[in-house]
A and B are shown apart, each in its own frame.
Chain A
Amino acid sequence: GENVEQHPSTLSVQEGDSAVIKCTYSDSASNYFPWYKQELGKRPQLIIDIRSNVGEKKDQRIAVTLNKTAKHFSLHITETQPEDSAVYFCAASRAHDMRFGAGTRLTVKP
């Protein structure tokens, strides 16, 4: 089955800096790669996603890149703000069996 690795496990940045989180996946048939943000005690919230026919997608301060050949994808957050502090999960799916990475705890220091 699919195995998703996520790095780093924790990331601390100064407000205004950029943050990058990286994931790799094992199943070359995976074709959908979402990113979720989870605040303490809350549900995971979809923040951006990318499909395998696209290499990059951007939504305001958030961007995701996908390298199908290398089987890795990354989340980029620019101009970070304290409210970006949360746990971020990447995931990969080929049908409807989405598998998550272990999560990255992002702390944005004011």
Chain B
Amino acid sequence: EPEVTQTPSHQVTQMGQEVILRCVPISNHLYFYWYRQILGQKVEFLVSFYNNEISEKSEIFDDQFSVERPDGSNFTLKIRSTKLEDSAMYFCASSEDAEQYFGPGTRLTVT
């Protein structure tokens, strides 16, 4: 059964650095998403992406964040100038319509 994949599984970066988190959505899916989960807390919506543009974004998704689909398979989340509070698990998800399937996540640690 096809699954969403994400790389890397764990990323450690220094405060102020830029990071790019990568995702490969399920191949026939049209909608792509990024979520954040701080340890022990709920899953928080960041952004949804459809037809090569952002369709929805939350109040968390400010100018520090950007998303891109650089080719036919990858979907990336870039975080500019990381802060300590960006430390979290970042999940990518994809859907054909409403049912969203999550990737395994990238644990981002900002030191």
Question: What number of A residues sit within 8 Å (CB to CB) of B?
Answer: 23
Stretch at the interface among B14-22, B69-77, B95-103: B95-103
Residue from A1, A49, A100 within 8 A of B98 (CB atoms):
A49
User: Would you list 16 pairs from A and B whose C-beta atoms are within 8 A, ordered by A residue?
Assistant: A1-B59, A34-B99, A36-B102, A43-B103, A44-B102, A45-B102, A49-B98, A89-B42, A91-B43, A96-B55, A96-B56, A96-B95, A98-B33, A98-B100, A100-B43, A102-B42
Contacts of B99 in A (CB 8 A): 34, 46, 49
Per-position binary interface string of chain A over residues 60-77, scored 1 when its CB falls under 8 Å from any chain B CB and 0 otherwise: 000000000000000000
Tell me whether B102 and A95 are in contact (CB under 8 A): no
B residues 51-90 near A (Cβ < 8 Å) are: 55-59
Tell me whether B42 and A100 are in contact (CB under 8 A): yes
Residue from B45, B103, B105 within 8 A of A98 (CB atoms):
B45
Judged by DSSP, the binding face of B is: strand
Question: What number of B residues sit within 8 Å (CB to CB) of A?
Answer: 24
Contacts of B56 in A (CB 8 A): 95-97
Tell me whether B100 and A34 are in contact (CB under 8 A): yes
